[in-house]
Amino acid sequence: MDIRMITLLEVISALSFVVTTWTDAAASNAVGHAATTKLCTLIKHNKKAAESTTARQKQLIAEMGRLRTLSLKAEAAACVAAKDDTAALTLFADYVQAKLRQASGRLENLAPKASTAAAALGYAAGRLDETVSVFDQAVSGTPATQYCLQVTSGGTGTTKITTADPACTALLQEDPAAGAAHGKYNYAAHTAILHNAGGILNSTSSTCQLTKIASSGGYENTGSVTGQVYCGAGALKINGNGPNVEPLAAAAAAEGSAANIEAHQKARHAYDKFHAAAAAQTRPTENNYDSWKDDDRLLELIAKTLEAQTNKAKIEKGDSAVTAARDKLLGGDQAQFTSKVWDKLQKTKLTYNDGTTLKSELAEEISSDKNFADAAFRCLQAKRKEALKPKIQQKHCQNDNAAHKPEEVCNAIGDANETRCNKTPGCHFVASKGEGNKCTLSEEGKKAAAKQEENKAGGGKMAKLTPNAQGRKRTTANLRIVNGRVKIARIPLFSSIRNWL
């Protein structure tokens, strides 16, 4: 994509200042002010439009960045939210993710259209630029033989403005308006201007016209040039009567059908395609729920969710059940959305590691994508551990009488339940411990565990038992762990054990 993004400078610098041979201008008369203004207006538009192909792509990239941040924030908040808020925040997170994928696809599809439009517009602007430049150079240094290029008075040619026409030299637009590409040129309004527009004579003209001022000076169409010559990619036609600005309305026709102005036709069609693809689309934010609550992406997500919940083969996005579910989860208007989703999204407390310490902050206080991603990862990791705990217990507790290490009993409580850990006899919570080991044995627990190991090794009263009795004692008197709870196993009262008791 980066290779195809063409900047205006690359296009215009290559095409705007092409040296024109004198044969192109040999039959030309001077270009009047009105004609210059019309041609320069098109030049200015083409340059700005070519520039906006890159600028608009930059805007879309920035929009994608904002969507990505909102997506990560919503995903993290949905993970740690209270049970009653999970469904709404999850739906919103899924919708933002869908909009992010849509924006990415739009940008990828826009790149080739942008490069084509920039090249076509740059070429047309360059041909016009060189034409105006040639006529500018054709002005004589002798007032009596000067041609009327940009003068607004003085039909004798003794007056001419010495500064360039503002329409040709206006500064380029750095960026188009937010959320849009540069406007399209009105080719239908680009009508013809004849060499003797208005029937004004050369000698009495108080305004410029497309002809020479004095019959003894300047370039004329003589017998050496027959027919007509086109300049400015066909926008200016020069024949035996003088130069005429050509109409460009035909540029709207199908490609290849506008004689002599193909470059302008291609520029128009290429930019029309880019402009349509670059149109602004609503991005979900805090205060514009009413503008996107009927977005197809959102309704399709809800429809698919309902299909899965109801086992229906197909639910259309326009179904009343879809809008009812939307209103229930996200709200029916802006105020409800703010209350149901946005406020809870911003006020959710997220835990993340900033690279040095573990922090807990409200979502609205976090701005880093990395921190949002870390918060979501930590939450999902904790949930996976919680979900796997019954499986781990089942694996280690197939024999209810099997011995469990006291350390394992504490670890099984998990890192996310500090209160339960501290209330469990023999366990205490140590935040500095590694993942999965924060709930660990306390000093009292370690002593009890050591004593238990000593008894297993044959110390204490167990040494007085017969070998068989000792085995039965150890097997049946161990602690049993069932569904995370510690239970005491039954102790059979064999004769040898009765005597010991």
- Return the pLDDT at 148: 41
Amino acid at 441: L
Q: Please count the helices (runs of H) and the strands (runs of E) in the chain.
A: 17, 9
- Return the pLDDT at 365: 96
Question: How many beta carbons lie within 10 A of that of residue 438, not counting itself?
Answer: 21
Mean pLDDT along residues 117-137:
82
Burial track 71-84 (b if 16+ CB lie within 10 A, e otherwise): bbbbbbbbbbbeee
Helix residue ranges per DSSP H, 311-348: 320-329, 334-337, 343-347
- Return the pLDDT at 405: 77
DSSP-based three-state secondary structure for 113: helix
- Return the pLDDT at 37: 75
Mean pLDDT along residues 414-418:
80
- DSSP per residue over 9-55, as a string? HHHHHHHS-PPPPHHHHTT--PPPHHHHHHHHHHHHHHHHHHHHHHH
Percent of the chain with pLDDT over 90: 36
- Return the pLDDT at 477: 41
Question: How many beta carbons lie within 10 A of that of residue 476, not counting itself?
Answer: 15
CA pair distance 36, 39, nearest whole angstrom: 5
What's the chain's length in residues?
501
**H or E stretch at 231:** strand 229-231
Percent of the chain with pLDDT over 70: 64
DSSP-based three-state secondary structure for 255: coil
Give 77-110 pLDDT, tens digit per residue.
999 998 899 999 999 999 999 999 999 999 999 9
Q: Which of 121, 105, 97, 102 is nearest to 14 (CA)?
A: 121
Instruction: Give the count of alpha carbons within 13 A of 182, CB side only.
Output: 25
DSSP-based three-state secondary structure for 237: strand
Q: Which two tokens stand for residue 400?
A: 């209810």
CA pair distance 240, 146, nearest whole angstrom: 20
Q: Which two tokens stand for residue 149?
A: 């290029």
Confidence of residue 274 (pLDDT cuts 50, 70, 90): very high
Tell me how far CA of residue 371 lies from CA of 93, 354, 361, 486, in angstroms. Answer: 17, 6, 10, 39
- Token match 């879809």: residue? 322
Identify whether the C-beta of residue 267 lies closer than 8 Å to the C-beta of residue 296: no
Identify whether the C-beta of residue 144 lies closer than 8 Å to the C-beta of residue 157: yes
CA pair distance 35, 173, nearest whole angstrom: 23
Spell out the domain ranges in the chain: 8-277, 289-389, 397-500
Lowest mean pLDDT among 96-110, 210-224, 355-369: 210-224
Burial track 266-275 (b if 16+ CB lie within 10 A, e otherwise): bbbbbbebbb
Confidence of residue 349 (pLDDT cuts 50, 70, 90): very high
Average pLDDT of the residues of the chain: 74
Per CATH, the homologous superfamily of domain 8-277 is Variant Surface Glycoprotein, subunit A domain 1 (3.90.150.10)
Mean pLDDT along residues 350-360:
91
Question: How many beta carbons lie within 10 A of that of residue 191, not counting itself?
Answer: 11
CA pair distance 314, 307, nearest whole angstrom: 6
